[in-house]
Amino acid sequence: MIPQLLAQAKGSMFDSSFLLWIAGIFAIMYFFIIRPQQKQAKDQQALLGALKKGDDVVTTSGILGKVFAVADKVITLEIANGVKIRILKASIQGKVTLTEEAPKSDEAAKKEEK
């Protein structure tokens, strides 16, 4: 009878340690994978909600522009003087600080090389 009780006790200790092991792995996955993704998604939604006319942004495809108009799901970006494109609001990756550089002509580039 005593050996049976010891066998049952060892079996239950194995089960509880196994459950603790699984709970520990889940906690690690939550804090290192799930929680940061939720925070990033929350920050992205806050960014999209705060967009206004005149903000400099970059899209997920790398297009830089200035917000010209904001609608419910569509944003109009001005990517050059007088050149406007309409994109989905969800394709905005983030805000940037743009510094305007005038494109150099071929002659000016050749002079700088010499």
| The predicted structure's pLDDT at residue 68 | 95
Q: For the chain, which ranges sit under pLDDT 70?
A: 1-14, 100-114
Query: Is 109 within a domain?
Result: no
Query: Is 17 within a domain?
Result: yes
Domain span at residue 42 reads 1-50
Give the number of C-alpha atoms closer than 13 A to the C-alpha of residue 7, restricted to the C-beta side. 4
Query: Is 83 within a domain?
Result: yes
64/36 Cα distance (integer angstroms): 27
Query: Is 34 within a domain?
Result: yes
Is pTM beyond 0.75? Reply is no
26/74 Cα distance (integer angstroms): 39
How many distinct structural domains can be found in the chain?
2
112/63 Cα distance (integer angstroms): 28
Which CATH number do you get for residue 63?
2.30.30
Amino acid identity of residue 103, one-letter, is P
Q: Is 58 exposed, middle or buried (0-12, 13-18, 19+ CB in 10 A)?
A: middle
